[in-house]
Chain A
Amino acid sequence: MKILAAILLATALGCGAATEDELVATRADVLELAGAWSNDGFKIRDGHWSGELTAGEPKLVQVNLFAGNHYWFSAAANAQAKGLSIAVFTESGNPVLVEIHADGPRTAVRFSPLVSGPYFVRVSATEGKRAAFCLIYSYK
């Protein structure tokens, strides 16, 4: 009975969790986008960071970047998410200037740090609930 109630509640709220298939699809999407940077000599890190994204609840991951390298952070989300964006912040939490590449439901930012150290990368959406997303990064 409890399970049935939970299913009904989830259905009513329209907030089904992102499925494995959706997560895999966003990963394939973002790899396709990042493939463009590979043609320019960027290497894609083998790992990825994925999960669910809800509008107004951005996701934040810490990365360690090196002065002298150039980076592309690329993200994709499924159709439930609109207005996907990526922002990069210094270890003090200040935003950095990035070059943005918008490509429909996918987005990417390019950043060349002058200082090595920890940075924060934020992925957010302006609309949508519990949409699957995937972030990867490339460097050269």
Chain B
Amino acid sequence: MPRRFLILFLATTAAIAQEPQPSLTKEQMASATMDHILSYPMPGELFAALGKSAKPDWTSFFREPIPTNFTSRQQIAMNLGGLIADGYLAVEATDGQQVKNIARDVRTLANALGVGQNLLNRGNSISEFAANNQWDTLKEELEAAQNEVIAAMNAHDDTDLITFVLLGGWARGTEVITAAIEKNYSAATAKIIRQPGIARSFINKLAALPEKTRDNPLVKKVRLTLFEIHKAVGIPGDSAPTLEDVQKIHALAKTLVGDIAKKEL
């Protein structure tokens, strides 16, 4: 490598020690943005953290197909988020047919919310990538699909529905990883499930919804379960959740996902 290129390379890639930073104040932390996209982890990110150390049998966490004929928009949105998490699960399990089935159900729910048009091309490419075993690309497509749904909801001033999509995906992702950790417990992997900030954020967002939405029986039930989950995932940062903690969080997440997918409540 010519010397000047080597110098340029070193100059731009060298790690630089960071100057000591003062701590943030409570006011600064309170003013932090919760971004619809970046502040909430995608299920794929959660599964990546687990997959590295636990090597789970992802297929064993598949669930029976859920109904796709809900009438409440909030419930449709939560199930849409849950199905996108199922899509990530199918990708981790490298099951192309399952990915295609889920993509079809995602489109059905998106259509019911009036945002299906935004997913038309995305749906075709998801099926193609699944047929060609392009698993990494599929993860990107799933995230892009969720973001397009969110963008469409933003454009339609349906911002409350975004919370429900994110909540559904997070609940299903948490159900899956806690099941996996429960099956093969280790303190190191159990640390992944510490997510008090996310649970708190959903509690705050649901509390800020219009009264009419909060009065929806499913939303009421979801809020109650979220309070329980928030208490359970608020494990101190310096300790790992015990197997009992994991079992408790799994049971709560399973109840939450089950309620969300129940046709009649």
Interface of A is mostly: strand
Q: Chain B interface: which of A1-9, A19-27, A98-106?
A: A98-106
In the complex, how many angstroms separate the beta carbon of A17 from the nearest chain B beta carbon? Answer: 18
Q: Which residue from chain B places its CB closest to the CB of A117 in the assembled complex?
A: B194
Q: Which residue from chain B places its CB closest to the CB of A90 in the assembled complex?
A: B237
- Interface residue? A72 (CB, 8 A): no
Residues of B within 8 A of A130 (CB): none
Tell me, in angstroms, the Cα distance from A69 to B191 when the chains sit together.
12
Q: Which of B1-46 contact A (CB under 8 A)?
A: 12-13, 15-18, 20-26, 28-29, 31-42, 44-46
Taking a contact as CB atoms under 8 Å apart, the answer to whether B192 and A67 are in contact is yes
| A46, A59, A97: the one within 8 Å of B33 (CB) | A59
| A94, A117, A118: the one within 8 Å of B23 (CB) | A94
Residues of A within 8 A of B22 (CB): 95
In the complex, how many angstroms separate the beta carbon of A78 from the nearest chain B beta carbon? Answer: 19
Given contacts A60-B33, A95-B23, contact A118 B45 (CB under 8 A): no
Residues of A within 8 A of B108 (CB): none
Residues of B within 8 A of A59 (CB): 33
26 sampled A-B residue pairs with Cβ under 8 A: A43-B140, A45-B42, A48-B38, A60-B29, A60-B32, A60-B33, A61-B32, A61-B38, A62-B32, A62-B197, A63-B38, A64-B41, A64-B198, A68-B50, A69-B48, A69-B49, A91-B196, A93-B29, A101-B12, A101-B16, A115-B194, A116-B49, A117-B194, A117-B197, A120-B24, A120-B29
Interface residues of B (CB under 8 A from A): 12-13, 15-18, 20-26, 28-29, 31-42, 44-46, 48-50, 52-53, 136, 139-140, 143-144, 147, 188-189, 191-198, 201, 237-238
Interface residues of A (CB under 8 A from B): 43, 45-49, 59-69, 87, 89-95, 97-103, 109-110, 115-118, 120, 122, 135-137, 139-140
